[in-house]
């Protein structure tokens, strides 16, 4: 299904007094709007790789009439967020964006001749009085009136607002596809339809796993594409250790791999649709469910007799498959929809694959030394977290790809090339699933994340009496000596993907030490997003009215609407009180 992607609306705001003032500012103000649009379109892409478009008001806005004309243009152009820009004083309440559910920011030029900062303060006061939160963008240093540069701090704020605002707008009206129900009593698998509707404006489509079985049994997929996928896997997959006491023979393993690849096709088609199915006589199935994210229950009602979904989860969440590089499709292990939503947030703001993981174990320095004889050093000296999913994670998580400086990284999918794909496949081996866990068999994607990569560990939780809350822990992957890694990995499962992670510590609260981070984490799962991107998640959470209950960010990096400042002087308390007072972005919906 072809969808209109949200656009960024740029609103040039001007002092409307004629007879010299407005006339002197027309070109300057409109030029500021065009510079802002040019900057954003040069720096941003949608998660699917498409170019981001900006829509600029036809005229500068000095009052209600021009604001209304701008809104008419925005409404017809699918504008999902707006940035008002001005180099001067203007009439505050008469010129602001009044659409309640649209994310809003104001950039007031920091100059003293005709100070946009004065308008910024007046307009924010109007926003706050009307209960319409807006982000404040104001450069630290005074600029000369003719300076056309966008200062670095303003650039950062513009991009952070735009990334988060586009994510909010992109989710609206889309679907979370729940394939199956609750996996092994995991709370994140209890799909709360009201959460998706009230906070994200998304629908939930619940489909029994028998629908997947029906598609597999009746071959409701492109059989030619399955042959292509099978040939690709035969040529490019490396197979790893066998841990089963009674291994399947080669024919049995190939049958399982073939069904695993067919599952990948079917789940993708269920999410996004596939026009080729209509030509095969499956017109209804060809439509899909318009899902922007999905989850698969798997354990145990499926996996006790059928191959697990590890291949499907690993490949769909990756930035490539047999067709080459393409956008990841979020598929949450064990139908943990809250981790799935967190992965979706990260993908929409970056275009990068997100890593699904169990927050499995805290290894203290003493425990590591007792088990291996090795003393942890450097970033690992205070202990490490073992992040490991039960067989599936995006293959990008190995960080076998290198950036321009030669450091391990995760790239946005539109930068992934064939060399990157080869490196990621070479870093992964596919191990037969341990049939004590997965009686129907399967293949686990096993890799070890390269050390020294900046990551942000993130998790969305639902809490009775509060609603959703977000946890954020910035840190790094670390390398262990091979023998130490092997000894520790073997105590869990050496056929599953592993990341050794160390959070950045602050010395207090949940970040007093690494143990405290593990002890404070609110669920058994987490997402690893590449880079230190906690500030982006904070901005997104504020837009959705989701308080952040745990983070290790510097206070200067936190960017929320100015309205939050009216709820007290403590940043965390502000966040909770503002989110409670405003309520979910889309109101309380069932």
255 is in an annotated binding site: no
Choose among 353, 327, 349, 438: nearest CA to 391: 438
Closest among 263, 396, 392 to 319, alpha carbons compared: 396
Question: Which runs of E-coded beta strand occur in 290-336?
Answer: 291-296, 320-321, 324-325, 330-333
Is 418 annotated as contributing to ligand binding?
A: no
Q: Which residues pair with 52 in a beta bridge?
A: none
What DSSP letter does each residue of 514-547 carry, written as one string?
Answer: HHHHHHH--SSEEEEEESS-HHHHHHHHHHHT--
Q: What angle do CA 10, 12, 13 make, to 5 degrees?
A: 135
* 413 assigned ligand-binding residue: no
Instruction: Using the structure block, give the residue that is written with the tokens 């997402």.
Output: 527
- What tokens were used for 315? 């490949």
DSSP 504: P
The rounded distance, in Å, linking the Cα atoms of 178 and 192 is: 11
The span from the CA of 336 to the CA of 181, in Å, is 10
C-beta of residue 32 within 8 angstroms of C-beta of residue 149:
no
Largest CA distance in the chain: 90
- In whole angstroms, what is the distance from residue 190 CA to residue 431 CA? 30
Contact 310, 356 (CB under 8 A): no
The catalytic position among 225, 259, 285, 334 is: 334
Is there a catalytic annotation at residue 575?
A: no
Examine the residue annotation and report whether 211 is marked as an active-site residue of this protein: no
Q: What angle do CA 295, 298, 299 make, to 5 degrees?
A: 125
Q: Residue 427's closest CA among 394, 453, 385, 390? A: 394
Active-site position among 310, 358, 474, 536:
358
Task: Cite the active site residues.
Answer: 334, 358
Binding residues for Mn(2+): 334, 358, 525
Binding residues: 334, 358, 525
């Amino acid at each position: 299904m072809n969808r209109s992607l949200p656009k960024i609306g740029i609103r040039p705001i001007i002092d409307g007094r004629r007879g010299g003032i407005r006339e002197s500012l027309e070109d300057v103000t409109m030029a500021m709007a065009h510079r802002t649009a040019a900057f954003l379109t040069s720096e941003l892409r949608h998660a699917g790789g498409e170019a981001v478009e900006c829509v600029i008001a036809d005229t500068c806005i000095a009052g209600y009439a021009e604001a209304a004309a701008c809104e008419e243009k925005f409404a017809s152009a699918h504008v999902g967020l707006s940035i008002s820009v001005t180099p001067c004083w203007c009439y505050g309440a008469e010129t602001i964006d009044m659409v309640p559910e649209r994310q809003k920011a104001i950039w007031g030029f920091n100059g003293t001749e005709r100070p946009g900062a004065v308008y910024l303060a007046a307009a924010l006061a109007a926003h706050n009085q009307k209960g319409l939160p807006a982000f404040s963008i104001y450069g630290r240093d005074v600029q000369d009136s003719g300076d056309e540069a966008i200062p670095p701090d303003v650039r950062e704020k513009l991009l952070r607002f735009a990334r988060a605002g586009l994510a909010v707008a992109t989710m609206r009206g889309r679907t979370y596809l729940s394939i199956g129900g609750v996996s092994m009593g995991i709370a994140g698998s209890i799909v709360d339809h009201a959460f998706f509707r009230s906070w994200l404006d998304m629908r939930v489509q619940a489909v029994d796993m028998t629908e997947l079985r029906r598609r597999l049994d009746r071959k409701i997929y492109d059989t030619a594409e399955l042959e292509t996928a099978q040939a690709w896997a035969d040529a490019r997959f490396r197979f790893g250790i066998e841990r089963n006491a009674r291994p399947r023979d080669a024919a049995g393993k190939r049958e399982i791999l073939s069904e695993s690849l067919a599952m990948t096709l079917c789940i993708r088609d269920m999410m996004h649709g596939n026009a080729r199915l209509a030509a095969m006589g499956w017109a209804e199935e060809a439509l899909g469910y318009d899902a922007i994210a999905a989850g698969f229950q798997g354990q145990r009602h499926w996996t006790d007799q059928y191959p697990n979904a590890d291949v499907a989860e690993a490949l769909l969440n990756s930035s490539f498959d047999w067709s080459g590089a393409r956008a990841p499709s979020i598929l949450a292990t064990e139908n943990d929809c809250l981790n799935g939503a967190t992965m979706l947030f990260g993908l929409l703001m970056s275009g990068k694959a997100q890593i699904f993981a169990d927050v499995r174990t805290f290894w203290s320095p003493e425990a590591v030394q007792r088990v291996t004889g090795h003393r942890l050093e450097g970033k690992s000296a205070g202990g490490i977290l073992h992040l490991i999913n039960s067989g599936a994670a995006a293959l990008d998580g190995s960080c076998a790809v290198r950036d321009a400086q030669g450091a391990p990284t995760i790239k946005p999918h539109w930068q992934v090339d064939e060399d990157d794909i080869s490196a990621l496949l070479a870093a992964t081996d596919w191990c037969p699933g341990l049939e004590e866990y997965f009686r129907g068999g399967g293949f686990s994607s096993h890799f070890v994340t390269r050390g020294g990569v900046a990551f942000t560990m993130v998790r969305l939780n639902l809490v009775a009496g509060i609603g959703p809350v977000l946890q954020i822990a910035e840190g790094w992957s670390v390398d262990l000596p091979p023998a130490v890694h092997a000894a520790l990995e073997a105590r869990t499962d050496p056929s599953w993907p592993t990341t050794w992670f160390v959070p950045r510590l602050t010395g207090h609260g949940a970040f007093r030490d690494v143990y405290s981070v593990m002890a404070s984490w609110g669920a058994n799962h987490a997402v690893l997003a590449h880079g230190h991107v906690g500030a982006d998640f904070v901005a997104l959470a504020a837009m959705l009215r989701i308080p952040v209950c745990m983070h290790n960010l510097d206070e200067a990096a936190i960017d929320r609407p100015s309205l939050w400042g009216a709820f007290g002087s403590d940043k965390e308390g502000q966040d909770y009180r503002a989110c409670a007072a405003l309520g979910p972005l889309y109101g309380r919906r069932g």
